[in-house]
Each structure stands twice: as structure tokens, then as C-alpha cells.
Structure 1
Amino acid sequence: MASKVQVQKMATLTGHRDCVYTLERSGDANIFYSAGGDGMVVAWNLNDPENGELMARVSTSVYALRHLPQRNLLLLGQNQEGLQVIDLAQKAVLKSVALPKVAIFDILHTSAGQGKVFVAMGNGAVCVLAADTFELQTILRKSDKSARCLAYNKRTNELAVGYSDHAIRVFNAGTLELKYELASHTNSVFSVVYSPDGKLLLSGGRDAHLRVWEVEEQYKERGYVIAHMYTINHITYSPDGQYFATCSMDKSIKVWDAETFKLLKVIDKVRNASHGTSVNKLFWSAHQNQLVSCSDDRTISVWDIK
């Protein structure tokens, strides 16, 4: 079938000295951040993609970043060393928040109510911090296996957490009470994302299954597709919500129709000179509809999606 999605590689960004694990948007459509095994946090400009700017450097690897646009802060999960709050204007660590000395897999910020920061931890805990002061308020403990990924549904004020015990747990983001436990995956859940309209939750992970959950039907499972050969590392929606993309340990990126769940495009090494190893994270920018990917091969690729 001829796909109506055209993909062109626009740039390959190099400079990281180790696997690149995470990408994060900024307040500007053309600026994004990357971090990985070398502890470097780099800002990139899609208008001038060749030159990254070092924003911070920490002593251990970084799996998670979260930007707070209103305050121009970047939250950085430093494995074994807690949460660092980086002032982007000053390029300085504003605050270090001591957390359990384990890996930090994901960070989420909600502005509902007083605002909270959720941190998914390698010991199964989800640390809940006050958004204004970053003080630790409470710790959600529902599993002793890693909490790997977080998603927030604005419409329902729900927090979805994917765990390495194969379950997804959905909490009331305000009261933190457990509302649903979704147990279809047969291995660790590495990515959860709500559709832009808040009606669906997509999940993926080590079992390579992309699963679709109906939020308004108490998270009844709509179905699944075996989306990749190996682990699904990340799922992200396009800015207009019409498409979503998945990336995998199988080195490929796939673009899907968000309504029909049809596969529209495969981006890989053979066809598109894509990554040579696991693709870890995606960032779909509103800047000329560019999709950005990062990999264990230490590079970041920028794709023009038409």
C-alpha cells in the first residue's frame, strides 16, 4: 500500500558521548532538550540543528526530563541522586531534591489544584512533590517493581502509571486513590499516553504489544496490535492528534493513524538511514511537524513528516 505519509531525514545531531535516553519539549516549538548516559543536558534548536547548547551536567545517567514552561525550569531525574531543578536562564541547579537512591524513569507535572510533580522510581514508588516548592509530600507505593512511565489526563484528573510488574495503575491525581488496575500486558510497561481528547489511553512495553484502553468505559481494553518485534520504548501523539508514533528496541520508528490504528509508515535503517540500535524516545514538535528521535547509538535524528 502506498502511504500518504512522507518522511525525510532533516538532520542527525551528534555530541552526546553515551546512549541518549530522553527528549523533552520546551516553551518554544523549535527548541527541545536531550539527556542520557553521559549526564549532559543539551538544548537543541530545530532552526539551527547542528549546534547543541550544554545546559547542565550531572554525575550519573539521566532517563527523565520535564520542562515547566511558566517558570522556565527543567526538572532532571538524576539516577541515584534525586531530582535536580535547573534554572534554564541561569543554566544553574536551583534546587536538589533528595529522593530514594534509585533510578528515576519518568517525571510529570500537573497544574491542577495546587499543582504536583510526580516522579516514577526504580523501587516501585511514585514520589509526589509540591509543584511550587518541590518539597516531597507523599510517596505512592503500590508495587515493589519499578514505576516506569507516567501520563496525566486533564479531563478526568487521572494519573496512569506503568510498572515493571506488568500492570498499569490509574489513580485520582488529586486524592491519589487507586481507581483502576489494568493487567493485560505480559511484561514491563514502558510507555503510557492519553489521546489529546482524553478518551483513550495507549500503552506499550517489553511485550511489544500496543494496547488501547477506553477511558470513559472504565478503561475497558479496546484491543491490541503487535506493533514491533521487540520492546516498545515510547509512544507519542502528533501535535494535531491525527497520528501517533512508536519507537522500539527493534531500531525502528512507526507512524500510525490515531483513529484507525493503521500502520502508515516504518522509519528504519534500511529505508531511511535511521538509528543503528534501540530508539529510546520521541518528541513530535509543532515546528514544521518534525519528529525527533534519540537512540542508544548516541545520536538524535530529526524527521520531516508530511
Structure 2
Amino acid sequence: MASKVQVQKMATLTGHRDCVYSLEQSGCETHFYSAAGDGMIVRWDFNDPENGELIARTESSVYAIKYIPDRDLLLVGQNNDGLHVIDVKQKAIVKSVPLPKVPIFDIEYVAELNKIYVGLKNGGIAIVAADTFELETIVRKSEKSVRSLAYNAKTNELAAGYSDHSVRIFDAVTMDLKFELQNHTNSVFSIVYSPDGELLLTGGRDAHLRVWEATNNYKERGYVIAHMYTINNITYSPDGRYFATCSMDKSIKLWDAETFKLLKVIDKVRNASHGTSVNKLFWSAHKNQLVSCSDDRTISVWDINFDAL
């Protein structure tokens, strides 16, 4: 089964001068953004992968970026300097949101609620109004970092993965705490809801991929030891039938979203993949291409073909 998925590396994107931490979609299907430890925000074109376009440069590392499609704005979480709002066309900062001077690890934008949620190293989740970019409040349920955020439109809940080994589920409007999931044994680095809102997938430093039934009071359906080391990111394919994980063990793995069977391993030996930790994934609707970024300062574009399955 595993060998039937065809994977081909389409491009290796270079230019960042430090570890690449974040990837994000753009308003155009053929474009996406990257951010890195060098403070550079770059826009890439699948049709012209050799030439990245510098959109902004910040003073410190950037771990999180988020695109606001209806306004063509890019939210940039700087290491110790708050949230910046960048007008992509003008390549200019149009607003800076002062926040506690700690790293920002994740940003979630929810258009229907007019809210931006920002995960902070001090354990806080900052809630920012999406129309005015004014800070509304900071909700802090832990002393440890908020590493990952995910919104579920079906249940109107915000999930947050923390470095205290917990996943906390909030009412996305009131920010009342609804559930605490504590089965992980180390920091939770990545969380994602299934496209239908039925499941929550979580992963982190314990290398366990855990599956929770979001519409059944977050009962745990099960888990797999998905990688040798930390799971850094989990992302679904555009059609929701598959998902991918990436890890500090340098590999990317492709999974069946219904059966949770491992379908393919992408690594350096078999696929000339990354030589160090793979930090983030972006699965584009453009030709079903999967994008990965790494501590090795490169970004890879993969053509994934499931037709043989």
C-alpha cells in the first residue's frame, strides 16, 4: 500500500538565511508565504519557484504568520515585538499590536467571529479584533507556552496546545474553558481539526499522534506513535481525505484520514528530503502540492499523487 503513493520533489526553494519556521497560503492559489529565523517574510510562486519575493523584513525571528484573504493582509508574529499587520501590495506595516514581549508561536484568524487569536510563550492567548486590530483581552490558563491554535466552526470552539502537555478547548466567543485533554506526556506542538469538524488531531514532543472526537466531548479515539521524535506540524489535504505530519526526525509522513493508516514516508534517503528538522507543512490546492520547510533553511515542494491507491 505504502509504495503506491507517488511523490516527486518539484522544487527546492532557497534564500532564507536561517531556519524556516512558518508557511502560509496566499490569496492566489499559485502563491504562498514563508517566514524564518532571519526575520524575512517571502512570497513564492509555484510557477516560478526560483524567485522568491521579499514582502517584509523584521528585526527578529518569526515563528507564525497568518493571511487575511478578504483584505490581502498578512499577520506577522515577531519574536518579542508583538503582532504586525502587513499590507501585502504595499509591502508596508499598516498596524502594530503591542503584546507582552514574548515570542508568538501561532496565530488563528476567524472571519465569522471577527477575531484573531495569538498564542504566546507566556501561556496567554491574546484576542485581537480583526477589523480594528485592537487588543481585546488576554486569556491565560497556564504558565507554559501556547504552541498551536485551531478553530472548529462546527462547534465554535478554539483548541490550544500547550507546553504543559495539555490541550485546552475554549468557547471561541466567551473564551470559557470547556475541556482539558491531558493524555500527552510532553509539549503539544501541533493541533488541527478535520475539515468536517468531527475530529481533533494533536501531536508534539512525545511523538504521539492522538485523535479526539470533537463532537463527543473530546473522547480519545486512539493514538499512534507517528514519528521517532517531536511532531512539529499536522495538516490536511485540500480534499480532507489525507493528512500529513512532519517531525524533528527529518521525515514527512502521509496518512489516510479515515483509517489513520500510514501511506508514505518522505525522507532524505528515499526522496532527497530535508537534512534536519521539518518544521511546517502547507498543503496547497494548486496541483495538490505539499510544501515543507526546515531548519536546513530550505523549502521543498512535493507533487503528491494518490491515483494508484
Same fold per superposition (TM over 0.5): yes
For 1:30 and 1:241, locate their aligned partners in 2 and report how far apart those are by CA, in whole Å. 20
The reply to whether residue 222 of structure 1 matches residue 221 of structure 2 is: yes
- RMSD over equivalenced CA pairs, Å: 0.6
The reply to whether residue 139 of structure 1 matches residue 120 of structure 2 is: no
Residue 112 of structure 2: SS of its match in structure 1?
coil
The Cα offsets for residues 179-224 of structure 1, whole Å up to 9 and x where unpaired, read as: 0000000000000000000000000000000000001110000000
The Cα offsets for residues 128-183 of structure 1, whole Å up to 9 and x where unpaired, read as: 00010110000111000000000000111100000000000000001110000000
For 1:176 and 1:104, locate their aligned partners in 2 and report how far apart those are by CA, in whole Å. 19
Q: Give the aligned partner of residue 87 of structure 2.
A: 87
Q: Give the aligned partner of residue 279 of structure 2.
A: 280
For 2:127 and 2:88, locate their aligned partners in 1 and report how far apart those are by CA, in whole Å. 23
For 1:87 and 1:112, locate their aligned partners in 2 and report how far apart those are by CA, in whole Å. 21
For 1:5 and 1:150, locate their aligned partners in 2 and report how far apart those are by CA, in whole Å. 30
Q: Give the aligned partner of residue 265 of structure 1.
A: 264
Name the amino acid aligned to 1:215. A
Q: Give the aligned partner of residue 48 of structure 2.
A: 48
Name the amino acid aligned to 1:250. D
Check the 8 A contact 2:21/2:294 in 1, yes or no.
yes
The Cα offsets for residues 84-132 of structure 1, whole Å up to 9 and x where unpaired, read as: 100001000001111000010000011223x100000000000000010
How far off is 1:2 after superposition? 4.6
Name the amino acid aligned to 1:179. K
Name the amino acid aligned to 2:145. S
How far off is 1:248 after superposition? 0.1
Superposition pairs for residues 121-160 of structure 1, below 5 Å? 121-160=120-159
Structure 2 stretches of 5 or more lacking a match?
A: none
For 2:37 and 2:286, locate their aligned partners in 1 and report how far apart those are by CA, in whole Å. 27
For 2:285 and 2:4, locate their aligned partners in 1 and report how far apart those are by CA, in whole Å. 19
Q: Give the aligned partner of residue 231 of structure 1.
A: 230
Q: Give the aligned partner of residue 15 of structure 1.
A: 15
Q: Percent identity?
A: 74
Q: Give the aligned partner of residue 290 of structure 1.
A: 289
For 2:134 and 2:275, locate their aligned partners in 1 and report how far apart those are by CA, in whole Å. 41
Check the 8 A contact 2:65/2:106 in 1, yes or no.
yes
Check the 8 A contact 2:2/2:262 in 1, yes or no.
no
Check the 8 A contact 2:155/2:215 in 1, yes or no.
no
Residue 269 of structure 2: SS of its match in structure 1?
helix
Runs ≥4 in structure 1, deviation > 3 angstroms?
none
Q: Give the aligned partner of residue 34 of structure 1.
A: 34
The Cα offsets for residues 16-47 of structure 1, whole Å up to 9 and x where unpaired, read as: 00000000001111100000100000000001
For 1:230 and 1:85, locate their aligned partners in 2 and report how far apart those are by CA, in whole Å. 34
For 2:134 and 2:21, locate their aligned partners in 1 and report how far apart those are by CA, in whole Å. 26
Q: Give the aligned partner of residue 253 of structure 2.
A: 254
For 2:241 and 2:31, locate their aligned partners in 1 and report how far apart those are by CA, in whole Å. 22
For 2:108 and 2:266, locate their aligned partners in 1 and report how far apart those are by CA, in whole Å. 28
The Cα offsets for residues 220-262 of structure 1, whole Å up to 9 and x where unpaired, read as: 0000000000000000000000000000000000000000000
Check the 8 A contact 2:246/2:278 in 1, yes or no.
yes
For 2:128 and 2:2, locate their aligned partners in 1 and report how far apart those are by CA, in whole Å. 48
Name the amino acid aligned to 1:84. H
Aligned residues: 305
For 2:56 and 2:215, locate their aligned partners in 1 and report how far apart those are by CA, in whole Å. 41
TM-score (norm 1): 0.99
Name the amino acid aligned to 2:181. L
Residue 33 of structure 1: SS of its match in structure 2?
strand
Residue 184 of structure 1: SS of its match in structure 2?
coil
Check the 8 A contact 2:200/2:211 in 1, yes or no.
yes
Residue 217 of structure 1: SS of its match in structure 2?
coil
Q: Give the aligned partner of residue 77 of structure 1.
A: 77
Residue 216 of structure 1: SS of its match in structure 2?
coil
For 2:2 and 2:56, locate their aligned partners in 1 and report how far apart those are by CA, in whole Å. 44
Residue 201 of structure 1: SS of its match in structure 2?
strand
Name the amino acid aligned to 2:277. S
